[in-house]
Structure formats: C-alpha cells, structure tokens
Structure 1
Amino acid sequence: MALMIAFYGDVRDYFKERVALEKQYGASLQVSSASSIKLKLKIEEGLSKCGLALKASGQKIHGKAVQKGGSSISRARDEQAMEWNDTLDTAWSKILSEADEEASDHANLAEAMQNEVCEVLKICEKKKEATRKRHVDFSVKLLAERDKIYHDRAKAKQRYDEACSLVESTRVKQGQAKDDRHVEKAAKNMDAHTNEMLSAKNAYLLSISVANEVKRRFYHVDLPSLEDDFQSIWSLTASKLVSLLKTASSLNGRCLDALRTHNENFLAATNSIDAQANQALYIEYNRRPFTDPPDFIFEPCPIWHDSAEFALSAPEPKVLLQNRLGQARSKACDLEPTIESKRHEITGLENLREAYSQNETLGDPDEVVENLLESVRQTITLELQYSVLTKEVEILEQTLGDDQGSQRPHTFKSASFVTPTPCCLCHSNIWGITKQGVTCKACSISAHVKCQPKVPSNCTGSAPRLGPKRNVSMAAPSSSYGRQQGVEAQNQTGLSRAASTSHRPPAMSNGGGIARSATTVNPNRINAASTNRNALNRSDTKPKARMMYSYEASSGFEVTVSESEVLTIISPDDGSGWVKVETGSKQIAKALYDWTAQAPDEHSLSAGETVTISKGGEAFADGWFEVIKDGRKGIVPSNYVELL
C-alpha cells in the first residue's frame, strides 16, 4: 500500500519532467519559427525594395518597369497588379505557420498535463497517504488491545499458579500439625487457600476463553477486515492512477492528432512546391537586356603602323604557324575521343542518377550527382580546349592555304652533346652536357632548344601527319547534355613524362577500335584517324621501359603507374617531355548491376557476375573498362563494376 502511494510520487515526478520538456520544446520551437519568420520577412522587405518581392499565394506583386527589346514594359500592365504564386515561398510560409502552431500545441499539452495530471496526482497522494496512516494507526491499536488481553491471561495463569503453590504449602503444614489447636488452624487456612485457588482457577479459565475468543476474532475477523480495507484502498489508489494515466494518454493523443494534422499540412505544402513555376517566376522578374560584348579587333602598336594580316612573307613566322597548325591538329585529334567518351560517361551517370533517385536502396544519388557534375566540368573544360584548337586549325588553314608545309613532325628529344654539333637552323654549334639541344631520332638532325619551334616539320623519317579534320559537335547540349547511351572503344595507351607515365586513350589503336558518339561522326574521319595512328605504331616490336619512380595520373590523358613497373613504349618522346605507353596489369571485377550491351563491342553484365579486366582495360577510357568474357574482349561502364 505504501509502495503504491509512493509510486504516485514517481509518476508525478515523471510527468513534471515531461511537462518541463514539453514547455522547453514548445518555447524553443516557437523561438526558432519566429526567427525564421522574421528572417523571411526581412528578405521579402529587401526584395520589395528591389521591386522583386515574392509574396504568398493570393497576394499582389507590383513589379517594376524593365527594358526588353529596347522598349519599356511595366510589370503593372494597364495599371493592374499581376498575381504571382511563388510556390516555394508559399510552402515555406505554411511550414513555418504549422511549426508555430505545433509549438503552441506542445505548450498547451504541458499546461494541461500540469493541471489535470500532476496537480491531481499530488492531491490524491496526500489523501491516500492520510487514509493509509489512519488505518495503520487503528490496526496498531487493535493489535495492542489483543496483546493486553493476552497479557491478562498470562497474569491470571500466574495468580492461579501462585494459589496452587500456597495450597500445597498449607497442606504440608497441616500434615505437620501435632496439637488440636494447630490442626484446627491449619484446616481453616487450607479451606481459605483452597477457595482462593479455585477462584484463581476460574479467573484463569475465563481469561483463557476470552483470549481464545480475541485470538479467533483477531485472525478471522479483524485482521481479514483490515486486509480487505487496505486492499480496497490499494484498489482505489490504483484505479485513480489508471484514470489519471488515461487522462494523460488522452491529452497526449489530442496533441499527437494535432501534430499529425500539422505534418499532413507540412507534406501538402511540400508537395505544392513547383520548381518549374518558381524558375519561370524568377526568369520573369529577372529579365534584363543583353547584347554580346563586341569582338576583339587588332589594335596596331602606336609606334608601328601595321594591318590585321598574318605575316607570311618571312620564312620563320610561317614555319612557326605551320608547326602550330600541326600541333593544334594533333591535340584536337587526341581530344576528340576523350570528349566523346566523357559524354557517354555523363549519359551513363545521368541514367544512374535517375535510377538511384527513384530507388535509393540501389545507391546514394548525391554521390552520383557529384560524379556527374565533376564529369560535366571536365567535359566543358575539354570542349573549351577543343574549341580553341579547332579555331586555331580553321584560321591557320585559311591563312596558310595550301602552303601548310610537309606536316612531317620531328620527334625531338633532349640530348647532351660531348662533341660540337651544328644546329640545323642557326648552324651554330651545340656543345655541353647540360642538354642545351634536342635531336630527332628519325632523321638525326639536331637543334638548340630555342630553335626547335622554328624547325620546319619536314622529317624524312616520319609519315605525313595531315590529321583527320574531326568536328566534335559543340552545339548547346539538350537536357541530357546531348548524349546517348554508348561508348567509344579505345585501347589503353598513355603519355609518360620522363620517368613517369600518364594515360590518354586514342580514338583507335591498331585499327581495331570502334568510335561512337552522341553526334554523327564521318566514317572517313575515323578511317583517317586509324591510318594516322597505325603510321605511328607500324612497328611490330615495341620497346620496353621500366619506371624509375611512381606516378599518379592527374588527367584523362595519363595513367597511374608504380615504381619498377615495366611499360610498353607506343611512341617515343616527341620533345614535349611525354611518352605514350601501354601498361600490362590484369584484374578481376564484379558486376554491381545489370547492364545490357548497347553496341557490338560491348559486353552485357548480370549483377554479381565476375569478369576479367583485359591488359590495360582498367584505364581503357574515361568511364569504361575493357573486359574479357566468353573468350572475347568488350567494354562495360566502369561504374557498373567493382574491382576485386
């Protein structure tokens, strides 16, 4: 019973803490929502000063006059205010309003629990404790009355025993009496003591009966009655506690119903956000007149009167332009497959993003988006480089016309000259061990480093490099960035600077690759690229090289290699400090998702399937691996497999 009443205090303490938490949460939520509302109003006020206030649904926005197409168009056409519905602003206002009401609901719940549960528990606890104490005091009194009667029985037994002892003593004395006088006196004493003994016996017997009756009543009447009373008090106490807990549950249920309503309104406000409508609204209120900046023009030197024409009269400037034309063609040709591969990679990532967005159990869409944006940034950078190179090729072709030189580039390489060697351009000697000159291994000519760019591209030991005039489309991309599902098949080749290596996938290698693109590619250009690369790799026996140091790839043209790794030289250093190489590692990969081949040179995959990465297949192309399956080489998206 005492534990039940003490439990009242425990329950009351719990609800006191619950009330404090509800008050604290409600106050914090109210402060947070009020701060957000204040910030929102401040932003709207700032936008209003700029004439760009975006109010909630049903409110009017008076715009400002803007210039469009050279004419002034007022937002308040015909002196009428235009009604705009910024769905994001409307939804956010609704969400903040619901949050403020939710804070009030928590405060109301705290107050109701304090008044209807905590205070009632406190009063009931005091009343029940007072009732319990009074009944406990009565039970103690009843026990004392029983013990008093037990004590009276014990005293009666003691008096009876004393009377018996006195009678026995008198009997002994009577037997010892010798004369008549003593015998008569002893007889009288014997009679008196016997009567006293009999009276004590009767009193003792009566006390026994009374004690037995009191004992019977205590254990069979009074004690069960007390227990029944305590049980009744316990039941009433428990019933009252249950009633109060039900009250608390009812209060909490009403609060939860209100919170559920707020959450439904929250969800409805969230679903009402229309990104397209908001973008249209933003565009409408942020239209500005725009004209392209003027083109740059040739500005002659103030002290040297000249015209905007290329200087081709002197041999040296013409040779520099011819060499630059060859370099631009070569670099543009190298960029084409990388750009096309990047576009296919972006298409695959876009498809993967859509799949992950619809089912996040497949993977993290944010990670895919980050990879997609990184690929887009890389593609834009490559396309910018390609645009610069193709423009240079176009202008130089127009300028040089048919006089583009032999386009047989030298493969210059830094060299030391222990004996004086004449420069093929300036004819002065090159001498020293500090590598002040370069040598073309194909035609064995030498030149100073400063003279190298001016040497005509007329190497007798190299094939003409006219270069395929490819055109990777630079048109504005569509919503899918102008790409389609596919990949360009490429063999793993790379560029290596001195003792390090890098990787750059060419469009074709050994005539066995297949070039595909989101834009139409002329087969003649592909054949020309194949012919060009075959001319560079016409030797059947390729030299080997061992890495002196490790190198980490930093671009799509490069490949990561480790120290002491043996590489195959595809083409030697042409004087740029880079060597085109091929690595020879093989790995096993496991398919993460299903993939259906989109072209003859691709392989289909099933989730969980293992395939072998071909030699150089890991760095085959950006976003693609070359694998061996069923005895045939094919390519698969790199983000669909996991290296083991």
Structure 2
Amino acid sequence: MSADLSIGNEIKDAFKETHKWVQNNLKWLKDIEQFYRERAKLEKEYSEKLSRLSADYFNKKSSTTVPISVGDTPATTPGSVEAAGVVAWNEILSQTDMISKDHDQLSSDFENHLANQLSGLFTKLDMTLSKIAGFNDDMVNKKDNIYHELEKAKKDYDESCSTMEMARNKCTKASNDRNKKKLNEKEVEMNKCKNEYLIKINQANRTKDKYYFQDVPEVLDLLQDVNEAKTLFLNDLWLKAASVEKDLGTRVSKRLQTADSVVKQNKPSLNTAIFIKHNLKSWKEPQDFTYKPSPVWHDDEKFAVPSTLEVEDLRVKLAKAENDYNLLQDKTQNELSRLSALNKIKHEMKTNEDSVNAVKFYDTLKNYLTVISPFTSHETLKLQAEVQIESIQNNVPEEYDLSTDNINLSKMKKKSGIFSKLKHNILNVDSRPSSGGNATSGNGGPLHITNLFNTSRRTRLGAASSKAGEDGENTSIYTSETSTTTKTTHTSNEDGGNKVLYAYTKQDDDEISISPGDKISLVTRDSGSGWTKINNDSTGETGLVPTTYVRISNADGGGTANGRGPAPEVPPPRRTALPVRTLEAAYAYEAKGDDEMSIDVGDVITVIRGDDGRGWTYGECDGLKGLFPTSYCK
C-alpha cells in the first residue's frame, strides 16, 4: 500500500475497467473460501481415520501386552506392569490419538476461522462495491442531465428564433401596432431563451470539468481502496491459517514459514501498481461546449439585453442562483473538512503500510464513502448556481442594475426546476430564524452570499423576518423592500417623528454618517437586513444606516423606544464581491501526467478547485487547466 499511488490520478475515465478488476478480485475470494472448505474436509477425514487406527492398535496392544512383556507362560503374573517397549508403544499410540484430535481442531479452524470469514468478507466488500457503483451511476446521471438541459435550452432557443423570424416577416408585410407589439414580445422571449442557453453552456462546461477531474478520479480511488482493503483482510486470514497449521509439527511449520514470507510481501500497492502498468492508455479530454448560433437569428455569444425586460428575467435568475449558492456553501465546506480529515487518516495508513490495521482502514473507507456521495452532489449543484451567477454578472452591461435587494422569491410561482428541488427535496434546509435572533443560515448569524467573481456589483441579502419563525413558515431570505419612492416628510426631533438616536460613522460607500439632532427622512424601510435607507436632510446625503440607530415614525419595531442606554450593536456588514482566488508559483513544476499543468516561478494561477487535503490544487494559467502541487505556490 502506497500513499503515492492513485488510480484516479493515473488512469482517466476508467470506471468500467477498474470496477471489473475489483469485481474479479472479490470473486477470487470465493475460490479461496472453497479451497479452505475442501482442506477442512480432508483434515476431518484424516482425523477420523487416524483416530480409528489408534483405537484398533490400542485393542491389539491390550491382547499382546502380557506375551510381549513376560511371555506366554510366566511364573508370576505381571499384573499391571508392562515392558518398556510396550510403554513406549502406548505413548506413541496415545500421541497419535492426540494428533488426530489436532487435525480435527485444524479442520474446525479452517471451517470457522477461514472459510466462514472469507464468505462474510466477500459479502461485505461486494456490498461496498455496489454502493460505489451506485455513487458512480448517480454522478453520470447528474452529468447527463446537465447535458440534456443544454440540448433542451439549445432547442428552445432555436424554436424562439424561428418564431421571432416569423413575427418579423409578418410585421414587415403588415406593419401595424398589433404586429409590432407581437414582434417585440417574440424578441424578448427569444432573448430570454438565448440567455438561458448561454448559462447552460457554461454550466455544462464546468460540470464536465468537475466530472472528469474530480468525480471520476474520486470513484476510481474508492475502487482502489476496496481492493486494497480486500488484500489486507486476505493477508490476515492467510496468516491465521499458517498459525494454526504451525502447531501440527516442526516440518509443517518450516513449510508455512516460507508461505508466510510470501504472504507478507503481498503489499496492496503491488496489485495496484501492476494494474496501472497494464491499463495505461491514451486519453483526451472531451472538448468544451461552444455557442452555436441559430441559423435564422443571433450570430454571436453575447447576452441579449436590449431592454429592462431581459434584465428583469436575469435578475430573478441571479437571485435564485445566489440563494441556492448560499444554502450550499456552508454544507459543502463542512463536508470538505470531514473529507480532508479522512484523507489525512488514509494517507497516514498508506505511508505506514507495514503496521496498517485492516479493520481501521476499511472503517475509514466506509466513512469516506458516506461523506463523498452527498458532498459531490452538493458541489455539482453549487457549481451550477456559481456558474449562473458568474454568467449573468459578467455578461450584462454595467449600465443595468443587477441588484437583487427587492426580489421576493417567496412570492413568485414555485417551479419544479432544479433549484426548487434543491431547496425543498435535496437539502431540506429550514430557513426559519432561531428564536430570539434574526433570520439565520442555521448558526445564529445573518445569511450573506459570498460573491465568487471579480465584479464591481455588490450583493446584499436581507434576513427573513422574525415573525416567519414564529409562524413556522419557510420564508425566503429575499424580502421585498417597500417601494416608497416619496420621502417621508420630516416633522421634528420630538417623540413620534423621525429621529437620530445614536451617532454612526459610515463604514462603506453606500452608507452615510449621522449624529443626534440631524434631520432625517425615510427613503426605504428595513426589509429585515438590519439597515434602513434614509436621507440626512442636514447634510444632504442619502444612504444606509443601522435601523436601531434611528427612529422612524410609524415603523413597526424600527429603532428603539427612546434615546436611553448605550448604542446597540451594529448589524453585520454586507459582504461585497470577493475576488477570484489566485496563487503565485514559488517554484517551477513540470507536468508528469495529462491531468497536470506545468508552472513557472512567478506564474499567477486562478484556483478552480482547492486542495482537498491530498496536496494538489486544480487551476488555470494562460488558458491551460490542470493539477499542480499546492506546496509549490504561495
């Protein structure tokens, strides 16, 4: 067993071959089981024949003891005295009878401690192999479903283009208001379909990368672990067989010591190494999906956003994707942490293979399989949401507002799309706030999305109202801000009017500073995020301030009852967009495999998939993608 050998890293897209190889190794356990059952049968038969032989010669000895000891006609009856030769013969027959019992015990040991153990081992490992095959089928189905969605999006786009072309021809022939209106509607629908198609292309490409460089290698390594666990268990059983046979005698012991030396040289990694050596093959990564223009309309791959109608559609898609990504972020991080810990344990075992314990190694394998399946599923779904966010934010012109603050997903018609299934069927996440606090993501703090893309757009999510938690309803984290565009007229700083309760210094560009005594008027009420948008009539500035620092007339629960006591805690900051994570190469590295990437000192590498604990990071540099040693970068 070697921590440096990995089928997933060496052989690409080889589940079928590797699965068959492991399956053959497990079937081999049945042959070994049958051998020990036949061996037990032979030892049983030998024991019975040897016992009968000893009994027969004990009877003969009894009838010949006196003649042999003292002759046929002794002068004095010898009684119980026996000749020395007869005593020796008696001891030989007694030991022979004991040897027959030893062979009977050996037969029982072969049956109970070897054959039955092999039968149970086959059942256990075969069930594990079936789970891995099911996990692989699930990953293939998810990939194929995403490919199917891409094909459907392409078909919808082509159909909408054809419909648009028909409407345009009709409008050309009869340019009346009705036809013009119909033409505009068809153009908007066509643009929406095109945008959806581009999103699906990006999702399919990223999913394809994840499948071939993360999912498939993970499955192959699991198959490798099953086969190596089989070898560890088999070695233990062979050593047990040798141990019980050694008790039969010095000659058998010497023969079995030779077998022991061979068994102890049967390292699990040797099986893996020879399999890899004879299964290396040429492999080429499938090509990326590219935009295919409709034969009757759009001829480039840019998003179609000629009006606010398309932007509104994209804002809803963006809000849904942000919501989905946020729900999955904590879950995948927790699962990744557990996987890294298990990987560390496996690595330590494989590094110290001479002292590795088969049961502990197999238990680690089972625990890893329990975590990797939901993690991979959640990662795929998170990737889809991430690509959708990236596609929209990076392709819509800057002049359009992509803010999702006023989008209330809970009021929209529920659809049976992949993200609705994600929220309600797969994750089963309860979005109700905990008692005594704001709506949270499950750990007591406000829920914020982390924008993964290098964009100047900012995303701020409001928390669900505390009343939703009391009513037991699942409330969307997107709450609709009151569309009050007319500012509330300032009355006075007296009780019952708008009032600044505490001084606050702005900490972000969209905030403003306030002081007690400033005259203020409402722009937008707090939607549950802990922030209220006001106009400081004294300074002429408009922006956000903590809700608890002001009192707004007729605001439900807004501000404090009066100006007494210390200033309350400022709500958590709204996270701005985080840049894409990059690493700088501190050492040069030359790729040693098709899935690796060469790097030079000073290269800036964009991280696509971080190190999961194995020492490798998947990234992109100068248009090339591949794995590189994490320790070579800073």
Larger Rg belongs to: 1
- Higher strand share goes to which structure? 1
Structure with more contact order per residue of length (Cα contacts < 8 Å, sep ≥ 6): 2
Normalised TM-score (structure 2): 0.34
